[in-house]
Amino acid sequence: MANLAIRDLVKTYDKVEVLHGINLEVQDGEFVVFVGPSGCGKSTTLRLIAGLEEVTSGDIEIGGRVVNNLEPKHRNIAMVFQNYAIYPHMTVRKNIGFGLRSSSAPKAEKDARIDQVADLLGMTDLLSRKPDQLSGGQRQRVAIGRAMVRDPAVFLFDEPLSNLDAQLRTQMRLEIKKLHQRVGSTIIFVTHDQVEAMTMADRIVIMKDGYIQQVGTPAEVYHNPANTFVAQFIGAPAMNMIEGEVKENGSIQLSSGGQIDADLPAKPGQRITLGVRPEDLTADTSAPFLEGSVAVREPLGHETLIYVKTNAGEFIAKADGRHPPDVGATVRLGALQENLHIFDAETGGALV
Amino acid sequence: MAATEEIRLSSDALLKANKPKRPANMGQFLRWGLLFLGGIVMIMPIVYMISTSLKWPHEVYNLKLIPDEPHLENYTFVLEDGRFYWWFVNSIIIALITTLCNVIFDSLVGYTLCKFRFPGRYIVFIAILSTLMIPTEMLVIPWYLMSQQFGWLDTYWGIMFPGLMTAFGTFLMKQFFETVPDDFIEAARIDGLNELQIWWTVAMPLVKPALAALAIFVFLGNWTAFIWPLIVTNSVEMYTLPVGLSSFGDEADVAWELIMTGAAISTIPTLIVFLIFQRFIIRGVVMAGLKG
């Protein structure tokens, strides 16, 4: 186990800069998830940490040692790939033990280690099988086993669950989380799925266009998003956004015509974007600021999501699961002031 | 019970009666006919080879398939002739070493061109490919002069050196290595293997079908090679089988029955090679078909 530090990391491909000097500190034993849309640089960062790509400038430190110029095998890391990368011509035992090939430990010791890892992953009965005799989840476990067997300082996971079906993904998510709690290793996990990020991470790193947008615990990035991108990327359905302007008395005049009393650190006349999550926007309010008609209902059982058409666009709100408003009905929506997110309209940065 | 059986039988009969009969298909008939003709064309030289090997010299130009007096004297003569063993051994050594070298060198170069990014990679690949456009006949004289300069005339090395690595093999292997996901290579790199170990332990087992195909092509090509071994060898002991067999007979006549006997015996190793490696080729085709 070890801590990891990334300092001013830049990566360019043929003069195109894809990472623009990112900085990050990961503590020993921490589970950090990199999340972001395709092309945001999360996988590139992971490959740079692994040593599969050369750093253009900046430093990567693992366990206090700069590893920029070290071969992957000398970085004391292990990686689980999206396509598992388990060798089809080898049995599960050989696949798991593959990482120990270069170890000078006696064979009996290596075998004991393989058995220990197989036992931990519940794969003891499968050791003599070949990958084509395994299910998707079992293959994924073999890949994890191969990473674990060397007891590396840092585990790197590159979208390891994206090839699994929804049910198996949920199961594997839980297993990886439990595994982390058991072995306590430092884990860097890359995904584009914000649900995976929220459910697994100690801290989430949200990336976009080669920049880190925000680093924080799942609760922090959800409740206090640093900007409109994070606000809309985290949470499903995405956060509702509406333009507005700060008035002389400090209140906000929304483009829908509604008004909100707020005490903002903003100048009168400043353009703002108001964000409110669908689960916080409800018709059950004493201070509505939006009015429109229900266009679509999505019953989820315990609650119903309603899509409300207003003069400022369509908004998603939460309604009662048993007695939601009818399609076509007019509703007036509002939210508690503590659940409102206010961003600068120009920069997108959070004001509150 | 009997009634149930009766009902089941009658329903089977009904199903059979209702099953539409496939009308005689002219296209299918034509296809089978063409395949049959193709098969005849392919098999006839082999049948004639075996037939001729069982004939006496005076019967050779009689095109009857079954000899009047079939006999095995030709086989006895050829197998008792010490030269035949030399030629057979020469051909085996040359074909095996050349096949082994091609499998190793072609796949090494193909792997390097496929999996490593270095300046000039594309140019090197095109340069190797462009040698495919030069006919062997044009290369024979330079090869001969080289062999002469290096003192390789009438040696195994002289016979083998032009074919130890081929552009076709390199191309074939490069294309197959393209199908090996980079994740495998990178995973092995992280697991601590050096590049040569990755090539041998991870990449090579994944391209077995291509290696088998290459091995068959190279072995057969060298087993049947005639022009270059004829030019580069002088002594009868260094002849390969095709060259040696062509020397049966004298200036006045060609002993076809002996040539055919030698040819019949010399097909055995090629059959063995094909039987050993064909399962890899078939598996390769199946794998290619199943890939999602």
Question: pLDDT-based confidence at B68, cuts 50/70/90?
Answer: confident
Q: What is the DSSP letter of B201?
A: I
Residue B204 has pLDDT above 70, yes or no: yes
Q: What is the pLDDT of residue A218?
A: 96
Other beta carbons within 10 Å of A219: 10
Q: Where are the beta strands (DSSP E) in A28-82?
A: 31-35, 57-62, 65-66, 77-80
Chain B interface test: which of A49, A95, A98, A146 (most B C-beta within 10 Å) = A98
State the Cα–Cα distance between residues A201 and B5, nearest whole angstrom: 66
Q: Is A78's Cβ below 8 Å from some Cβ in B?
A: yes
The closest of A264, A282, A271 to A324, measured between CA atoms, is A282
Which tokens sit at B157?
Answer: 């090395």
CB A294 within 8 A of CB A328: yes
Q: How far A88 CA lies from chain B's nearest CA (Å)? A: 8
A-interface mutation test, from B115, B191, B204, most A Cβ less than 10 A away: B191
Closest-CA distance, A229 to chain B, in angstroms, reads 31
A4-227: CATH architecture: 3-Layer(aba) Sandwich (3.40)
Alpha-carbon separation of residue A341 from A224, A262, B103, B123, B252 (angstroms): 8, 11, 65, 57, 105
pLDDT at B225 over 80: yes
Lowest mean pLDDT among A34-43, B75-84, B225-234: B75-84
Per CB-CB distance under 8 Å, the chain A contacts of B119 are none
Inter-CA distances, B162 with A141, B94, B140, B145, Å = 49, 12, 9, 12
CA-CA distance, A244 to A277, in Å (whole number)?
17
* pLDDT number for residue B292: 32
Question: Which chain A residues have a beta carbon less than 8 Å from that of B187?
Answer: 79, 81, 85, 146
Q: CB–CB of A79 and B184 under 8 A?
A: no
Please tell me the number of Cα atoms within 13 Å of B153 on its side-chain side. 12
- DSSP structure class, residue B198: I
Nearest to A193, CA basis, from A180, A184, A204, A178: A204
What are the residue ranges spanned by the domains of chain A?
4-227, 237-344
Query: What are the tens digits of pLDDT across the range A25-51?
Result: 999 999 999 999 999 999 999 999 999
| Distance in Å from the first CA to the final CA of chain B | 50
Which residue of chain A has the CA closest to B183?
A: A85
Are the CB atoms for A80 and A156 separated by under 8 Å?
A: yes
pLDDT less than 50: residues of chain A: none
Residues 6+ apart with CB under 8 A from B268: none
User: How far is residue B219's CA from residue B221's CA, in Å, rounded to a whole number?
Assistant: 5
Which two tokens mark A39? 């092309």
CA gap A308, A332 in Å, rounded: 9
**B265: helix, coil or strand?**
helix
Residues of chain A contacting residue B181, judged by C-beta atoms under 8 Å apart? 83, 85
Pair type for strands A4-13 and A154-158: unpaired
Residue A6 forms beta bridges with which residues?
A24, A60
The answer to whether B167 faces chain A, any CB pair under 8 Å, is no
Mean pLDDT of chain B: 86
Comparing CA positions, the residue from A349, A138, A114 lying closest to residue A228 is A349
How close B6 gets to chain A, by Cα (Å)? 45
- The pLDDT of residue B22 is 60
Question: Would the pTM count as exceeding 0.80?
Answer: no
Contact A97, A107 (CB under 8 A): no
**A132 CB contacts (<8 Å, ≥6 apart)?**
A88
B134/A contact by beta carbon, under 8 A: no
| Cross-chain Cβ contact A73/B181 below 8 Å | no
Q: Does the beta carbon of B186 lie under 8 angstroms from any beta carbon of chain A?
A: yes
User: Is there a contact between B280 and B209 (Cβ–Cβ < 8 Å)?
Assistant: yes
What pLDDT is recorded for position B121? Answer: 92
Q: How far apart are the C-alpha atoms of A39 and A209, rounded to whole Å?
A: 7
pLDDT for A96 equals 93
Q: With an 8 Å Cβ cutoff, is B181 touching chain A?
A: yes
Give φ, ψ of A260 to 5 degrees: -130, 130
Q: Which residues of A touch B192 (CB under 8 A)?
A: 73, 99, 101-102
Structure tokens at B202: 């991870």
Answer whether residue B249 shows pLDDT above 80: no
Residue among A78, A82, A89 minimizing CB distance to B190: A78
How many angstroms away from the CA of A72 is the closest CA of chain B?
5
Dihedrals phi, psi of B274, to nearest 5 degrees: -65, -45
Q: Which two tokens stand for residue B148?
A: 């002469």
CA angle, A180 then A185 then A191, to 5°: 65
Tell me the per-residue pLDDT of B162-199, one tens digit each, with 9 for 90 and over. 999 999 999 999 999 999 999 999 999 998 899 999 99
In 3D space, the residue among A240, A204, A207 whose CA is nearest the CA of residue A222 turns out to be A204
Contact B190 A77 (CB under 8 A): yes
In this complex, which of B181, B190, B206 lies closest to A79 when CB atoms are compared?
A: B190
With tokens 């016979």, the residue in question is B159
Peptide bond into A278 cis (omega under 30): no
Tell me the C-alpha to C-alpha distance, in Å, between residue B288 and each of A325, B181, B292. 55, 14, 9
Q: B190 and A82: CB-CB below 8 Å? A: no
**Amino acid at site B57:** P
Neighbours of B49 (CB within 10 A): 16
Give the model's pLDDT for residue B289. 42
The answer to whether residue A104 neighbours chain B at the CB level (below 8 Å) is no
CATH topology of domain B78-291: MetI-like fold (1.10.3720)
What residue segments make up the domains of chain B, in order of their start?
A: 25-71, 78-291
**What is A237-344's CATH superfamily?**
Nucleic acid-binding proteins (2.40.50.140)
B17 vs B109, more confident: B109
Higher per-residue pLDDT: A270 or B2: A270
Listed in sequence order, the residues at least 6 apart from B89 whose beta carbon sits closer than 8 Å to its beta carbon are: none
Tokens at residue A300, please? 């989820």
> Minimal Cα distance from A158: which residue of B?
B183
Per-residue pLDDT, averaged over B195-220, amounts to 91
Closest CA to A24 of A217, A222, A212: A212
E strands present in B152-258 = none
Kindly indicate the confidence band of residue B291, based on its pLDDT and cuts at 50, 70 and 90.
very low
Q: Tokens 């690949």 belong to which residue? A: B125
Residue contact B191–A83, C-beta within 8 A = no
A93 in B contact zone (CB under 8 Å):
no
Does A79 contact B188 at a Cβ distance shorter than 8 Å? no
Is A82 in Cβ contact with B183 (below 8 Å)? yes
Check CB contact under 8 Å for B193 and A73: yes
Measured in Å, how far apart are chain A's first and last C-alpha atoms? 38
Separation in Å, CA A229 to CA A84, A205, A221, A312 = 31, 13, 11, 20
Q: Quick one: tokens of A317?
A: 């709100």
Q: What are the angstrom distances between the C-alpha of A10 and each of A41, A57, A161, A191? A: 11, 5, 28, 21
A16-26 β-sheet, strand order: A16-26, A4-13, A57-62, A65-66
Residue B2 has pLDDT above 90, yes or no: no
Q: Mapping DSSP to helix (H, G, I), strand (E, B) and coil, where does residue B102 land?
A: helix
- Give yes or no for a contact between B151 and B234, defined as CB atoms under 8 angstroms apart: no
- Give the strand order in the sheet containing A211-216: A77-80, A154-158, A186-191, A31-35, A203-208, A211-216
- CA gap A244, A255 in Å, rounded: 5
On whether any CB of chain A is under 8 Å from the CB of B83, the answer is no
Query: Closest Cα to residue A2, out of A185, A227, A215, A147?
Result: A185
A163 touches chain B (CB under 8 A): no
ipTM score of complex: 0.81
Which residue of B lies nearest to A80 if distances are taken between CA atoms? B187
Q: What is the pLDDT of residues B96-129, one digit of tens each?
A: 999 999 999 999 999 999 999 899 999 999 999 9
DSSP state letter for A331? E
A55-59, A347-351, B45-49, B80-84 — which one is most confidently predicted on average? A55-59
